[in-house]
Amino acid sequence: MSELVLTVNPIACDAHGVCASLLPELVARDPWGYPLIAPGPVPAELAEHARRAVASCPTLALRLARVDRAGGSG
Amino acid sequence: MTGAAAAGLARGPLGASVAHPGPGAIVVTSSTPLWYLTRATGVVALVLLTIGMALGLLIAVRFEGRAWPRFITIGLHRNMSLLALAFTAAHVLTTITDNFVPIDLQDAFVPFISPYRPFWLGLGAIAFDLLIALTVTSLVRARLGHRSWRLVHWTAYLCWPVAVLHGLGTGTDTRTRWVLLVTIACVAAVACLLGWRLAQGWPAHLGVRVAGAIALVAALAAGGAWVVTGPLRPGWTGRLGLPAAGPSQLGRDTRGAAGHPGVFRPGHSRPAPAAASPAAPTRIPA
Amino acid sequence: MTAIRATPPGPPQPDPAQLPRLVTPGPPAGLAAHLRRHGPVPALSGPALIASIEQAGLTGRGGAGFPAARKMRAVTTAASRRPGRGRRGGAPAVLANGAESEPASGKDTLLLRQSPHLVLDGIALAAQAVGATEAYLCVAGPQPAAALLAAVAERQRAGLPEAGVRVAAIPHGYVASEESALVNYLSGGPAVPRYVPPRPAERGVGGRPTLVHNVETLAHIALIARYGPDWFAAVGTPDAPGSALVTIGGAVRRPGVYEIALGRPVTELIELAGGTTEPPQAILAGGCFGGWLPLPGAAGVPVSPPGLRAAGAAFGSGLLTVLPVTACVLAETARVLRYLAGQSAGQCGPCTFGLPAIADALAQIAWQGRDRRTAEWLRYLLPVVANRGACHLPDGAVAVAASAIRSFSKEVEQHVTHGPCANASRPPVLPLPRTAPAGRP
């Protein structure tokens, strides 16, 4: 059983905040504008929104990865 | 040509109308719809490119409002730029198809090889190439990686002014009031947003910002001076080797067809056709 | 006498309970003295060595405490998965981390000075075990680098098998000795952390799988190869086997680097360092990445990675700093945070902005006091900043700050209600460099 996990590369992230505006259910912003991603997998009904948020990130910092629930990515 | 007989125009070697408003001046006009389309799509493409550029700058300055979240700017920038590319492609297509002028497919992509106004058309080719590169790299951005994409996207700062200069230098309509006003409005809008972009995040990267500001002011001043002394002066197109004048000079005898800049004047930049059949337009070898 | 070794038997196995094992007191051990004491490096196959290390239960001595054998297996797995890739064919590399940028720590520097050949043996063994064709030894400055180059040359003259160890001097900076920062620097970039995944074990220097081990870990590997895993685990505890170098400092009579058996109680180690010079208030265990152990309550806490973790602190790179009752924990913690905030690489927002905010809030509480909102703001900030950077600098900083306000909540209450205590204005106890942050906004 695999699931989608949303992560952000903190070095590439520049606090544009587009992800938070496109996916407010899963992404909030900290006091300096950087994303706070809700822990846990991305629910299936939000997968398309998550993909759109990943494509819209101006610095390509947001990533969506498919991980196996059993092992994880290491 | 419909207006030919009524205006006393004779048929020229390429099947176009040749008017003789006076001794020593040969004016060739064409009332093909392609000619209008070329100019119209050119102006629209410039406006769309300006809007795309403006939205890109708004992304860079992180413009945001209560009713205007970031993703709207990003989505609009993408769509407007794609539309700009579409209209530029139409502009290129109509120019190529309009075989009254010797502009061919390669002149649209390779700059400065056209026999017709090589420099100003070449600028258009450069802008077109850059616009294609910008679009393609943006479509495959996820695969390309952010750094490479960003490097290519910086050329947008070159593409837009080159397009503007192309329009001013080669456009017949530079002296038409409303087109001139539209161009000035486009330049003003982008200049203001560029100023905002340079000012934001002050004083980080101070050297680059100051250099950019100086370059911006210098470019505006130089560009303005050039336009006033060049394309806006009557006979600009003449100085390019072509006698065509705008509608204001020809008066009303061309039945709505404005002066065609694609005029062949024997003895000027290009050699005359070796064997030209009156019916079929031929491409003059450069 | 075991029948495994193919090389002529070296000197007899030393008494496992005899410490120190890694360093000998006196002048630094040259190659001859080293070979006299330990004998030649045994010829062990790669899998045999890794199995030996796994049986010994050796964990990394650089701060992360990751099982050493598991890391080596990760490198061999990555290398077998990508044959021929990378600039130099995908063969792994070994990176020995002796850069030691933790300000209070001195153990790696001491080890490299006193027993360089033990470390170099470890590098050669590790390189052979993972099939590495390149090895790097990272040190903090030109001076240790020169001495190590001489040691490498001595070994080459003696004809010892080498993997061509390259000695690299790393720029100063707390994050510069982080695993991915070293990989970045050796690959030609700046000495700042990179985003992981992929980990250095998969993609490291020049894109090749890289085994990064602390120099002390490699020294232990050199000993395990000679004397076996049972000898190694004869001291220590089942969950923390072996010995380790610790730097004991602060208000003790004989501050310095000691080699200890893991799992001994804190007070025993303080006695080892001559006892305290003043009545102690607390111990900072783990340096800038650790936590506070209030005394006398924490007197019996075992000094080992799991023991200290359970007590809300950390072993880190083996640091114990004693704070006397005449110092103010909040003021010392505020100074640590100010230092760490200045050491941020400035790459990640939560660290670049979060650490100075935490430092400011702690400074406010420590030296101005009388502001309950600051304490609440600080409590809100800590979980927001943790675990959101590319490296563990923000996590460590948050751990120190959180442990201070958790273990010394009475002092926090005192400061916000009545203002700073008298001790807050005393001179600092914790050793921190006086470097100014590098022009960060």
CA–CA separation, B176 and B228 (whole Å): 14
Question: Does residue B74 have a pLDDT over 90?
Answer: yes
The number of folded domains in chain B is 1
**A29, β-bridge pairs:** A35
Distance from CA of A4 to the nearest CA of B (A): 18
Residue B143, chain A, CB below 8 Å: the answer is no
Give, in order, the Cα–Cα distances in Å from C198 to each of A57, A74, B142, C205: 21, 10, 18, 12
SS3 C42: coil
Residue B142, chain A, CB below 8 Å: the answer is yes
Distance from CA of B137 to the nearest CA of A (A): 14
SS3 B184: helix
pLDDT average, residue stretch C147-164: 83
Contacts of A55 in chain B (CB under 8 A): 142
pLDDT average, residue stretch B43-63: 95
Q: Would you state the pLDDT for residue B256?
A: 33
Neighbours of B149 (CB within 10 A): 18
Q: Which residues contact B143 (CB under 8 A, 6 or more apart)?
A: none
Q: Would you state the pLDDT for residue C434?
A: 67
- Nearest CA to C339 among C363, C310, C318? C363
Report yes or no: B85 and B137 within 8 Å, Cβ to Cβ. Answer: no
Contacts of C199 in chain A (CB under 8 A): 74
Is B218 inside a domain boundary? no
Longest dimension (CA), chain B: 68
Q: CB-based burial of residue C82 (10 Å sphere; 0-12 exposed, 13-18 middle, 19+ buried)?
A: middle
pLDDT digits (tens, 9 = 90+) for C170-181: 998 899 989 999
Angle between helix C31-38 and helix C142-157 axes, rounded to 10 deg: 70
Q: Would you state the pLDDT for residue C215?
A: 95
Residue bearing the bigger pLDDT, C367 or C85: C367
Is B38 inside a domain boundary? yes
Residue B76, chain A, CB below 8 Å: the answer is no
Record the pTM. 0.81
**List of chains touching C (3+ CB pairs within 8 A):** A
Longest dimension (CA), chain C: 72
Q: Would you state the pLDDT for residue B34?
A: 82
Tokens of B108: 């649209």
**Chain A residues interacting with chain B (CB cutoff of 8 angstroms):** 12, 16-18, 21-22, 54-56, 58-60
Q: Would you state the pLDDT for residue C11?
A: 66
Is B243 inside a domain boundary? no
CA–CA separation, C325 and C331 (whole Å): 13
Give residues 249 to 278 of B whose Cβ lies within 8 Å of A.
Answer: none
Mapping DSSP onto H, E and C, the string for B11-60 reads ECCCCCEEEEEECCEEEEECCCHHHHHHHHHHHHHHHHHHHHHHHHHHHH
Domains and CATH numbers, chain C: 42-234 (3.40.50.11540), 239-324 (3.10.20.600), 331-425 (1.20.1440.230)
Give, in order, the Cα–Cα distances in Å from C243 to each of C219, C249, C263, C291: 11, 19, 9, 21
For residue B61, what are the domain limits? 34-172
pLDDT digits (tens, 9 = 90+) for C188-235: 999 999 988 888 988 899 889 999 999 999 999 999 999 999 999 999
CA–CA separation, B52 and C150 (whole Å): 62
Is B43 inside a domain boundary? yes
Question: Does residue C9 have a pLDDT over 80?
Answer: no
